[in-house]
Amino acid sequence: MMPDDLWKKPHRRLNPLTREWVLVSPHRTQRPWLGKVEKAAQPSALQYDPDCYLCPGNARAGGVRNPQYNHTFVFDNDYPALLPEVQSGRTADPESLLTAVPEAGTCRVVCFSPRHDLTLPRMTAEELRAVVDVWAQEMASLETISWVRYVQIFENRGALMGASNPHPHCQIWASASLPNLPQKELESFAAYQTEKKRCLLCDYLRLELERKERVVCENDGFLALVPFWAVWPFETLILSKRHVSSLLQLTSEEKNLLGDILKRQTIRYDNLFETSFPYSMGLHQRPSGSAEGAAWHFHLHFFPPLLRSATVQKFMVGYELLATPQRDITPEDAAARLIATSEKHYLD
């Protein structure tokens, strides 16, 4: 049992998914702030922007013109980070300290809606279900490609997270190798299964439901919480209550519930500082084309950069870059602030 005052003092917390530590320094929340202040992000007031590369009927940066779409719209990224014609896995000298191997992949963009101003927290249940269905369809399609090893679905929301276009959209990258973070999670899931004969996140979900210290919101299918080991101030983890390894195993009702929990969590984000809350969000699913992901538990990560207000950003610098991630606001305090926010969007 932890001493009652541990959470008030500097301490380390272990992330069992990556087997890495985070330093928590709750006493530092009292220090004055004289650092960089960003302008508060405001949602677009335009349903259609004639200068937007992603709005229906407009020409994209590469010259291709979008169709007059009236639902979700998927296209191959005009400037992809990965190319499918690359022959992956070949290297002249795998023993060298200067090792490089080709990496094949494909990158797609998913516009959530034709509306330029319609972000996830302001979409209807039907519109959110359409997004979830497209994610599942794209994943199923990409996994038919023999060399695809992993499908990463992610959204960068807001200029602070590097989003190059404000039109609500996400990206899907399919790669021939397993990326670093999913690789760490895969190893942790497998090690826990071998040692405990149980699922790591099933056990963690039960623990959080018992304690109710970091749970932000939940429905019959999913739980949203600030993880015990969170690095970012208002980082959240969304867990499937049923042990499934990917979107493709969700029932029709669970897909509706996934849309519901996404809406409820992102509304809380926007309401926290009454701003269009920036974040990187991603779905973590088992690797493609193999049975080694049987111990994998489907989950989503939200990594938002805001710290004290809509204008104060958390930076990973100095000690955090060179040694260990560090946070001031405890996960319990962050969860309490998110729980206290309304589930009605502040603009509605």
Catalytic annotation, residues: 169
Q: And the tokens for 245?
A: 């390894």
Q: And the tokens for 25?
A: 């320094």
CA–CA gap between residue 69 and residue 257 (Å, rounded)? 26
Q: In what order do the strands lie in the sheet with 20-24?
A: 11-15, 20-24, 326-327
Counting DSSP H helices and E strands in the chain, the numbers are: 6, 14
What is the 3-state composition of the chain as percent helix, strand, coil, each rounded to the nearest 5? Answer: 30, 20, 50
Q: Residue 171, class by beta-carbon neighbours within 10 Å (0-12 exposed, 13-18 middle, 19+ buried)? A: middle
Q: For residue 286, give the DSSP letter.
A: P
Q: Which residues contact 100 (CB under 8 A, 6 or more apart)?
A: 91
CA–CA gap between residue 265 and residue 217 (Å, rounded)? 7
**Alpha carbon distances (Å) from 230 to 8, 13, 69, 280, 333:** 16, 9, 39, 14, 12
